Amino acid sequence: MKKTITLETVDPVEIFGVGNKILEEFVSYFPGLKVVARGNKIHLEGKDEDIGEFELKFAELTRRRLHKMNLTVFDVEDIFDGKGSQERLKPSGDAIIVHTTDGKPIKARNENQRKMVKAYFENDLVFAVGPAGTGKTYVAIALAVRALKNREIKRIILTRPAVEAGERLGFLPGDLKDKLDPYLQPLYDALGDMIPPKRLQDFMAEGTIQIAPLAYMRGRTLDRACVILDEAQNTNMAQLKMFLTRMGVNAKFIVTGDATQVDLPRKEDSGLLRGIGLLKGIKGISTIFFTNEDIVRHPLVTKIVKAFDSKESE
């Protein structure tokens, strides 16, 4: 099917954006459509249902322009993420956090994930501790993306301690970034689920989203940011203190880790649980402990974790 949309009441630049940036963001949500903009006309070619959805969403974008001085790519994201719909994220931890790039809702999937979401809105520092596969990091990144899209923060910073998990980073090819990027790949994967590729690339190029090893955090003050420390079991007490004292004005910090998977040469050097114990009872800090029952990956993962745990406890 082919269809042409004609803009008659507004200047196309006001909708398409300079260099068609807003239109490109909008089109990224319709990978199955061929879209060509010429003058005040948009030519569409693809499936009937895709074209119908494009028309509905584009009409909403046009209506937004009538009530705003300028449109931004955030307006596009708001439309596709359902901002303004009846189901809003509540401090209870229910409802949709954000949508994936293919429109699927991301919601808390177990009781401890709900507790984590609730804790995020009630505290500035949240620890989420538990086994692999419980969704700790994924929920943390979803909350950060939501905050960025809602303009509650200026940037997202994701970090991990650069500790080798049985591998040798020094033998990997390339410069430091090339060596570390594979280690940070799980963070890229989660972001890629929630932000269209072109927009994610722009965010990273302009520094709105930063992914870096923990050592790069030293000396910084992080204002109006959501900062996530992943794999925190591989930090010692001094590193954990360094990270936590980066907190600036209007910042949210989330620390995730699995105390049973310490990759430090001496497991007892891990500062995660010791740090949590030291900070216990301080207002504004919350800790959520996940268990094997919270695993949300393949059902076999729960059995695998239990098998390894029982072997290690012998």
pLDDT digits (tens, 9 = 90+) for 273-288: 999 999 999 999 999 9
pLDDT attached to residue 84 = 42
Domain boundaries, the chain: 2-81, 96-312
**What pLDDT was estimated at residue 56?**
92
Measured CA to CA, the distance from residue 51 to residue 1 in angstroms comes to 8
C-alpha torsion 102→95→202→151, nearest 10: 150
Instruction: Copy the structure tokens of residue 18.
Output: 């300079």
**Which pLDDT does position 240 carry in this prediction?**
96
CA separation, residue 77 to residues 57, 80, 98, 144, 231 (Å): 11, 5, 10, 14, 30
Which helix (H) or strand (E) segment is 156 a member of? strand 155-160
pLDDT reported for residue 165: 44
Record: fold of 96-312: Rossmann fold (3.40.50)
For domain 2-81, give the CATH superfamily. Answer: K Homology domain, type 1 (3.30.1370.10)
Per-residue pLDDT at 92: 62
Q: What is the mean pLDDT of each run of 10 residues along the chain (314 residues)?
A: 86 86 86 88 91 91 79 78 49 76 86 94 95 93 90 90 56 56 82 91 92 87 94 94 94 95 88 95 96 84 79 62
